[in-house]
């Protein structure tokens, strides 16, 4: 009986190991390189995608958000590992106020199992005038499971009051109830701002860059400051993980007690 008990325990242990073994799969890593070439009345934007992973990406499409407009590329059916593809865009800037503007690049794609992913990058580009904003913005990387707060520390370095618009750019896997915040800043002042970020479909272990643009107009020139942070996704902690050592201890006590009673009953039977 004792032998059968040990044999059953060994079989159960081996089965647990098989269930816990992770499935080996390829990784998709899309690297985005964006260049902007401004001219008198338009800008030409080139986006180069490179798959630096070990698995193919499918149905890739690039989306640009700039100057309150979205530009969409053609759909690339497949991008194999180490391969690249280039997408071209043009935007008419005639009549646009001179200054520096935000540019957000979204890349949508999916894996071989049709699971959707996105890659996000942010930058700024100039039209007519290239002036640095009188702002200093600092943010810190955050770690979330279901939701969290992204905090910004903003300083107005100039001597003029500013009316600012803060816009948060997120990948498709994340969301926020307040993507834009309007606020005022006095001369030589400091302000703390926060955005709530929610996990919509991000997988544990993933790291997502997010971008915040701070825009304002001053003396007929448009200004943009850019801030970047990384959102790391972790698995939600359940009761088993939180009290894992307690459960293991209880299991050990239960097994020891069971073996004690088995041996005691066997001795009584032998006596």
Q: Do domains 26-130 and 131-238 have the same CATH topology?
A: yes
Burial letters 125-147, b for 16+ CB under 10 A, else e: bbbeeeeebbbebebeeeebeee
Q: Tell me the per-residue pLDDT of 39-58, one tens digit each, with 9 for 90 and over.
A: 889 999 999 999 999 999 99
Give all strands (DSSP E) within 111-220, no chain letters.
Answer: 116-127, 135-139, 142-144, 147-156, 162-169, 174-175, 180-185, 190-199, 207-218
Q: What is the mean pLDDT of the chain?
A: 87
Collapse the DSSP code of 17 into the 3-class scheme (helix H, G, I; strand E, B; otherwise coil) and give the result.
Answer: helix
Residue range 131-238 forms a domain whose CATH class is mainly beta
Cα-Cα-Cα-Cα dihedral sign, residues 67, 69, 73, 75: positive
Can you give the pLDDT at residue 270? 62
Collapse the DSSP code of 189 into the 3-class scheme (helix H, G, I; strand E, B; otherwise coil) and give the result.
Answer: coil
How many C-beta atoms surround the C-beta of residue 220 within 10 A? 9
Structure tokens at 31: 């690297």
Maximum Cα interatomic distance, the chain, rounded to a whole number of Å: 103
* CATH T-level assignment (fold) for domain 26-130: Immunoglobulin-like (2.60.40)
* pLDDT category of residue 266 using cuts at 50, 70 and 90: low
* Domain positions in the chain: 26-130, 131-238
What is the rounded radius of gyration, in angstroms, for the C-alpha atoms of the chain?
A: 28
Can you give the pLDDT at residue 8? 35
**What distance in Å separates the CA atoms of residue 85 and residue 259, rounded to the nearest whole number?**
64
Can you give the pLDDT at residue 16? 33
**CA nearest 147: which of 177, 127, 189, 120?**
177
Look at 20 and 153; give whichever has higher pLDDT. 153
Q: Is 3 left (phi over 0), alpha (psi -120 to 50) or beta?
A: alpha
**What distance in Å separates the CA atoms of residue 239 and residue 250, rounded to the nearest whole number?**
15
Q: Is 255 left (phi over 0), alpha (psi -120 to 50) or beta?
A: alpha
**What distance in Å separates the CA atoms of residue 216 and residue 164, rounded to the nearest whole number?**
5
């Amino acid at each position: 009986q004792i032998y059968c008990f040990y044999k059953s325990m060994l079989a159960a242990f081996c089965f647990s190991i098989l269930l816990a073994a992770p499935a080996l799969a390829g990784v998709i890593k899309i690297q985005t390189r964006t260049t902007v070439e401004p001219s008198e009345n338009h800008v030409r934007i080139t986006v180069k995608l490179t798959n630096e992973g070990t698995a193919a990406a499918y149905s890739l499409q690039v989306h640009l958000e700039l100057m309150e407009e979205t530009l969409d590329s053609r759909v690339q059916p497949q991008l194999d590992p180490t391969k690249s593809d280039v997408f071209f865009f043009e935007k008419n800037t005639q009549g646009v106020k001179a200054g520096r503007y935000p540019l957000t690049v979204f890349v949508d794609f999916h894996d071989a199992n049709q699971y959707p992913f996105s890659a996000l990058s942010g930058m700024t580009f100039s039209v007519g005038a290239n002036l640095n904003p009188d702002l200093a913005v600092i943010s810190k990387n955050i770690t979330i499971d279901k939701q969290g707060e992204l905090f910004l520390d903003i300083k107005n370095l100039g001597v003029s009051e500013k009316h600012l618009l803060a816009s948060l750019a997120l990948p498709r896997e994340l969301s926020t109830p307040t993507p834009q915040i309007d606020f005022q800043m006095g001369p030589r002042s400091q302000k703390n701002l926060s955005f709530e970020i929610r996990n919509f479909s991000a997988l544990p272990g993933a790291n997502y860059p997010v971008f915040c643009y701070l825009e304002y107009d001053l003396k007929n020139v448009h200004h943009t400051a850019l801030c970047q942070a990384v959102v790391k996704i972790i698995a939600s902690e359940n009761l088993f993980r939180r009290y894992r050592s307690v459960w293991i201890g209880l299991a050990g006590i239960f097994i020891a007690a069971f073996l004690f009673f088995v041996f005691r009953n066997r001795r009584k039977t032998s006596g």
